[in-house]
Amino acid sequence: MAAPIACAFIAAAQQTTDEVRVSAHVYTPPQLRLTVKAQLVQLEVVVRDPHGQAVSGLKQADFEILDEGKPRAIAAFSVETRGHAQANALAAAPAPSTTASVGALPAMPIPAPPRSTLLFFDDLHATGGELQRTQAAAKRFIKDGLGPGARAAVYAASEGLTLDFTPDADALTAAIEKLRSHQRMSENGLQQCPRITPYQAYLIANNLDYAALNAALAEANQCTNSSVGAMVTSAIPRGPSKGGGMIPTNPTAIAVRAQAEATWQQAREISLSSFDAIRSAMARLARAPGTRVLLMVSTGFLSGMLDAERDAAIDHAIHAGIVINALDAKGLWAEGPGRPFGQDAQTYKGFPIQTFIFEATSIGTRNDAMNAVMAEFAAGTGGLFFHNSNDLAGGFAQLAAVPEATYLLAFRPDAEGAASKYHKLKVRLTAGNHDYVQTRPGYFAPANTPAEAKTEPRKLDQEALAVDALAEIPVQLSGRLSKTMQGSPLLSLVIHVDLAKLKFTESWGRQTQKLAFIGALMDADGNLAAAKEGAMELALKKENLARMQASGVNAALTLSAPPGPYRVRIVVQDAEGKMAALSQTVEIK
């Protein structure tokens, strides 16, 4: 999987930050797409009652399709019932003539697509006990509920794909049994006193709730291991926080805020690592045939202030036709006031009342903040979120098993519709009852191109997966192996670029150039194990250009992968399209 820190930086002559801009993100090779003239938009629809059970016995007349709010005639309709490989045709007629109107087309039976389910286990946040409970439920589901013909894969957030898609129940069970917790941060935060949880740190660091800071200050003022000395409770106001109140600036407050910001930064990096893992899992699932379901098994994680990463993951799922179902591994979650057993406040005066009040009143909002990412993934992709229940085996059956009844609908989009435009879809029941209709939330209008038309990948993408060397740009590659705080191996790639050989363009009094980088690890089978893509935008003053042409620049990309032999592949492209590419072998231990 990708490393938790995505970085690209400059190591060269000194320059101001506005002269060099860098960015990096996880790299996923693009998937080729085929489009054809004859179009049908097909929907797999599951109707569930208030108890989550699939509703059977519905007819074509019970459904209505809205495309951007406009009703569409159902051009094809079938029912797939569990245990029957052949769809039951509820209406059949010969193909319509070329003069028939779309609204008059009779519904034709359509075959059920294969179902590919990726079981994604978030072992970066789950405790050992929480993971064991979900493992037991998942193994029971594989044994009793997977169903004939269904294929599943097992993916761990910390390791990547542990078992590719297979219908083999024994292999799936064995892969699930091997999962272990790799929790990277304790709920207690970074130190015992004051105890600042990741959620409390998130509130403090982003100035979202003054009560969170006040609670930490109250405990810090009574810590038995305090090195600050006699701490005062008065505060010098610096300005209002987003949550109301004034931000104190005495030595105690500075120390508390520093601890909160360090805690939040670590929690944020772990959340980013989880987003990286989810995107990598979806990249594999996108290549699977038929209906694609990602079942996210997680205790949730903090995604506040990470809206861009969450929205990008949802967009990726929608483009790939992936439905994300989520299962809360905490089960029926409840927590009494005060701290769990063995986590009493480490103070000489006992538990401060301000701290007790904050922790007692923030239990619900903390749980909501942790669960928000799962709820939003499910809502944004037409999936379901199973939570507040200890029946985890039932949750797996509801979210991952082939439903007892699936309705297959299809319609013809407007021929004059804009190609590649996203269309919001809604399928509703004409009876207007309160059953929940589960289907994908939209589609991208297909282009009216010849059947063999393809979208070509960038030259940068082509070279990233190639093996030959290119030397249009002078570059050098070096690397260093290290380990994270949790002991996972890290490979840091340093790509040195000789700027003296590059052509710069003058714009608004600056010398400009843009470099794109890809650093990738290929395993022994030639599969992409980890990759990052970065960009460096240079807008240099003339006096700085000469210094940087003499020294060059370094771009660094950090990758993480399990121990083993790999081929390192780096590709660099400048603004003119000139490229450099080279490969080296490395052993990660």
Q: Mean pLDDT in each 10-residue stretch from start to end of the chain (589 residues)?
A: 39 53 80 48 83 85 91 87 43 33 41 80 92 93 77 93 92 95 86 88 92 90 56 39 53 89 93 94 89 92 88 82 89 62 56 83 89 89 86 85 78 68 86 80 64 64 84 91 81 92 90 93 80 91 89 89 87 94 87
Encoded tokens for 42: 């097909």
210 occurs within a structural domain: no
Sign for the CA dihedral angle at 280, 282, 285, 289 comes to negative
What DSSP string describes 441-454?
SEEEPPP---TT-B
Is residue 532 a part of any domain in this protein? yes
* 511 φ/ψ angles, rounded to the nearest 5 degrees: -95, 115
Identify whether 258 is part of a domain. no
Residue 290 sits in the same domain as residue 387: yes
Any residues with CB less than 8 A from the CB of 455 and at least 6 apart, and which? Answer: 30, 32, 33
Yes or no: say if 536 and 21 are a contact pair by the CB < 8 Å rule. yes
Q: Does 492 share its domain with 435? A: no
Number of domains forming the structure of the chain: 3
Q: Are 21 and 537 in contact (CB under 8 A)?
A: yes
Q: What is the DSSP string of 274-330?
A: HHHHHHHHHHHHTTS-SEEEEEEEE-----TT-HHHHHHHHHHHHHTTEEEEEEETT
Query: Domain of 540: which CATH number?
Result: 2.60.40.2550
Residues 490 and 436 in one domain: no
Residues 101 and 120 in one domain: no
pLDDT at 485: 74
Residues 176 and 59 in one domain: no
Would you state the structure tokens that stand for residue 407, as one six-digit string? 């309705």
On whether residue 125 sits in a domain, the answer given is yes
316 and 428 part of one domain: no
> Which residues does residue 579 pair with via DSSP β-bridges, in sequence order?
573
- pLDDT at residue 312 in the model: 85
> Which pLDDT score is estimated for 5?
33
pTM > 0.85:
no
- Number of neighbouring beta carbons within 10 Å of residue 288: 20
- H or E element, residue 14: none
Residues 138 and 155 in one domain: yes
Q: Which of 165, 151, 164, 154 is nearest to 131 (CA)?
A: 154
Indicate whether 196 belongs to any domain. no
CB-based contacts of 154: which residues, under 8 Å, 6+ apart? 119, 121, 161, 162, 163, 172, 175, 176, 179
Going across the sheet that includes 405-411, the strands are: 88-89, 76-81, 405-411, 41-48, 436-438
Position 34 scores a pLDDT of 36
Whether residue 415 is found in the same domain as residue 435: yes
Q: What is the pLDDT of residue 581?
A: 92
To the nearest 10°, the Cα dihedral for 531, 532, 533, 538?
Answer: -140
Same domain, 138 and 169: yes
364 and 409, same domain (yes or no) = no
State the residue range of the domain holding 302: 115-185+265-399
The three-state secondary structure class of 79 is: strand
- Per DSSP, helices labelled H in 185-250 are 198-205, 210-220
CATH number at residue 329: 3.40.50.410
Q: Are residues 353 and 282 in the same domain?
A: yes
* Strand 405-411 versus strand 76-81 pairing type: antiparallel
In a domain, 381, yes or no: yes
Give the span between the Cα atoms of 250 and 235, in whole angstroms.
6
Task: Return phi, psi of residue 141, to 5°.
Answer: -65, -45
pLDDT at 517: 94
State whether 180 and 324 are in the same domain.
yes
Residue 67 to residues 13, 379, 449, 461, Cα–Cα distance (Å): 56, 18, 22, 34
Q: What is the pLDDT of residue 446?
A: 61
- The pLDDT score that the predictor gives to residue 120 is 97
- The verdict on residue 342 lying in a domain is yes
Residue 5 resides in a domain: no
Closest CA to 200 of 188, 182, 218, 185: 188
Q: What is the DSSP letter of 500?
A: G
pLDDT for the residue 476: 92
Interior/surface letters 316-352, b for 16+ CB within 10 angstroms, e for the rest: bbbebbbbbbbbbbbbebeeeeebeeeeebebeeebb
pLDDT at site 337 = 56
